[in-house]
């Protein structure tokens, strides 16, 4: 049984662990002792770890268990759009100290938010990893890393109807967490390394259409304004991947 390390046990990390726990041995991190105890009671091998945005006097020590791991999945934010360059740099340096000299398969969860907010269709070739600070630093240290640029995370309690929304005619770029888990598992089984993929559901209805579907209201008008469209065609082609949830209107 392969050993999988998940760094960052938040909304997405917890779902990845749950989907893989029957196939792999799961190791994970938590930021508080209470969380470590909770996750350990669920059968996960859990280590206390955090990656602050400020510089530390001493380096974070390497994760002891990582030497036995086959795969590491990083879900803490590293795309850099929500924080300044120096804060992101500090966070990543702490992360690198924690991972150390790891040569196994690695996944980083980035974001489609790295693409400019300009209407048009975007593929991975629209913006290279070298142009995204967090992706570039990780890739320079671990050339085997797989970078997954995730669209808006949805599923379970995360539904568009629960948020304050503007520009209702704009198209959505959403991804159901189950498809993220399925992409990662497919890449683990294939032994993928050094890949960059957009991970977004292939259908892009308007926000109004998604919200009406989630509220069980009559379908909104088939009016979709210009907007940013994230294409996952490379992922579909190279992995022969079939989305379980291709239509964001049906995520609920």
Encode the chain (252 residues) as per-residue pLDDT tens digits: 899 999 999 999 999 999 999 999 999 999 999 999 999 998 899 999 989 888 887 788 999 999 999 999 999 988 666 557 788 889 899 999 999 999 999 999 999 999 999 999 999 999 999 999 999 999 999 999 999 999 999 999 999 999 999 899 999 999 999 999 999 999 999 999 999 999 999 999 999 999 999 999 998 778 889 999 999 999 999 999 999 999 999 999
Q: Are 99 and 62 in contact (CB under 8 A)?
A: yes
Distance (Å, whole) CA 148 – CA 187: 11
Q: Residue 231 contacts by C-beta under 8 Å, 6 or more apart in sequence?
A: 121, 122, 123, 198, 200
Half-sphere exposure of residue 223, counting CA atoms within 13 Å on the CB side? 6
Q: What is the pLDDT of residue 17?
A: 95
- Identify the pLDDT of residue 83: 59
**101 in any annotated domain:** yes
Q: Which of 87, 95, 98, 112 is nearest to 175 (CA)?
A: 112
pLDDT at residue 177 in the model:
98
62, 51 Cβ separation under 8 angstroms:
no
Residue 88: the pLDDT is 87
77 within domain boundaries: yes
- Is 187 contained in some domain? yes
Quick check: helix, strand or coil at residue 64?
helix
- Helical H runs in 200-249? 207-214, 233-239
- Return the pLDDT at 151: 98
* pLDDT the model gives residue 52: 84
Model confidence, pTM: 0.95
* DSSP 3-state percent helix, strand, coil across the chain (nearest 5): 35, 20, 45
pLDDT for the residue numbered 98: 95
Q: What is the residue range of 144's domain?
A: 3-155+175-201+231-250
- Would you state the pLDDT for residue 85? 79
* 216 is a domain residue: no
Domain count, the chain: 1
Distance CA 14, CA 8 (A): 8
What pLDDT, on the 0 to 100 scale, is given for residue 199? 98
Question: Quick check: is 220 in a domain?
Answer: no
- Please check whether residue 66 lies inside any domain of the structure: yes
The pLDDT assigned to 80 comes to 62
What is the dihedral sign for C-alpha 125, 130, 132, 134? Answer: positive
Residue 82 confidence (pLDDT): 55
Give the domain CATH number at 101. Answer: 3.40.50.720
In a domain, 9, yes or no: yes
């Amino acid at each position: 049984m392969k050993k999988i390390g998940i760094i960052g046990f938040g909304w997405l990390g917890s779902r990845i662990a749950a989907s893989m726990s029957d196939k792999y041995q799961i190791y994970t991190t938590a930021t508080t002792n209470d969380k470590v105890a909770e996750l350990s009671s669920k059968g996960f091998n859990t280590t206390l770890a955090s990656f602050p945005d400020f510089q530390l006097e001493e380096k974070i020590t390497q994760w002891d268990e990582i030497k036995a791991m086959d795969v590491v999945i990083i879900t803490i934010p590293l795309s850099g759009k929500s924080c300044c360059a120096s804060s992101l740099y500090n966070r990543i340096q702490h992360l690198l100290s924690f991972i150390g000299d790891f040569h196994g398969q690695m996944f980083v969860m980035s974001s489609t938010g790295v693409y400019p907010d300009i209407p048009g269709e975007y593929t991975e070739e629209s913006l290279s990893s070298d142009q995204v600070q967090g992706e570039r630093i990780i890739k320079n240290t671990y050339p085997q890393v797989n970078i997954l640029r995730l669209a808006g995370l949805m599923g379970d309690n995360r539904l568009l109807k629960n948020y304050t929304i503007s520009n209702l005619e704009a198209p959505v770029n959403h991804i159901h967490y189950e498809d993220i888990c399925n992409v990662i598992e497919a890449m683990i089984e294939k032994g993928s390394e050094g890949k960059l993929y957009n991970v977004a559901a292939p259908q892009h209805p308007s926000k109004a259409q998604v919200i009406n579907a989630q509220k069980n209201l009559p379908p909104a008008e088939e009016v979709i304004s210009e907007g940013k469209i994230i294409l996952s065609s490379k992922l579909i082609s190279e992995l022969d991947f079939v989305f379980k949830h291709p239509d964001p209107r049906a995520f609920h």
